[in-house]
Structure 1
């Protein structure tokens, strides 16, 4: 109990040094690997973000050596890059790695089967529509649960023709 707030100056110095080294190590690795490492485009990207944070925490708190942590960070980033490359290179791998967006509401109709499968309620959809500063449901073309778990509200467009952002959901429309 006596070490709850302060152990000694040496442990503070170790934490400070580990924090500096771990932070700059991750910073350099992220700069080398590119912006995709920080993107949260799908479930796997979320896992990468959480894993990077957990590994960084272990490095900062000296639970693993800086070398061990650097190896772990490098492997995580290489795995993320490899899986992103595989999903671009192969439609089969893309289906395995990424889930599909889910249409929850379309042209005035709640898609109850999809809502039930995803665990989304009508109240949550109403809340998201309000977050997009829309009052009337007749202004909404669609509500989509995206790959990264976020909900998008698509406003009706007065423009006819062109490619719709909903084109990949055409099989899900009621």
Structure 2
């Protein structure tokens, strides 16, 4: 169907900007962390907010007040859970994964690649993107909690003093 009614278009024109302004206000009040791309938990909240906004805009059976309340509840729970995660380590472990070492001292860690379902080609792509032309000069490639890969070149110091301190994986000499 190409067109249903002028009433439907009018509703979208009225409710759309109001729902958008409400969502922006809720996000500004909740702080920067609400829309970060730090882990799967944050992604789920972001997708749920988008879905809720779309439902408010397009479903005649959902009133604006109900939609704004639903968005506020999602943001409140995201805020509360991340607040707890910063203060209680087991909550943090429950909602976030740990970064994983995929390459160490120029060598692929096969077990980590299999466990994380990452191919060597994907790692090589990340290396190229970071400007690394030779695997031998790479000290580490880390699969971060948000799914991105960090490439570390020229690390010095012990694993406890480098940025690899909280990374899962075997650090061989």
Alpha-carbon spacing, 1:113–1:170, altered in 2? closer, same or farther (3 Å): closer
Q: Residue 165 of structure 1: CA displacement?
A: 1.2
Q: Residue 45 of structure 1: CA displacement?
A: 0.3
Aligned to 2:66: 68
Q: Does 1:21 align with 2:18?
A: yes
Equivalent residue of 2:151, what SS? Answer: strand
Alpha-carbon spacing, 1:170–1:67, altered in 2? closer, same or farther (3 Å): closer
Q: State how far apart, in whole Å, the 2-side matches of 1:38 and 1:96 are.
A: 19
Superposition CA RMSD, Å? 1.7
What are the equivalent positions in structure 2 for 1:74-93 lying under 5 Å apart?
A: 74-93=72-91
Q: 2:7 aligns with which of 7, 10, 32?
A: 10
Q: TM-score, normalised by structure 1?
A: 0.91
Q: State how far apart, in whole Å, the 1-side matches of 2:131 and 2:14 are.
A: 47
Alpha-carbon spacing, 1:97–1:160, altered in 2? closer, same or farther (3 Å): closer
Structure 1 runs of 4+ aligned residues shifted over 4 Å read 159-162
Answer yes or no: is the 8 Å Cα contact 1:15–1:62 preserved in 2: no
Q: State how far apart, in whole Å, the 2-side matches of 1:9 and 1:61 are.
A: 14
Deviation digits for residues 21-53 of structure 1 (CA, Å, limit 9, x no counterpart):
110010000010011111011110010110011
Q: State how far apart, in whole Å, the 2-side matches of 1:13 and 1:134 are.
A: 54
Q: Does 1:120 align with 2:135?
A: no
Deviation digits for residues 88-133 of structure 1 (CA, Å, limit 9, x no counterpart):
1111221112111111111111111111011101111001101112
- Unmatched 5+ residue regions in structure 1? none
What are the equivalent positions in structure 2 for 1:25-36 lying under 5 Å apart?
A: 25-36=22-33
Aligned to 1:99: 97
Q: TM-score, normalised by structure 2?
A: 0.91
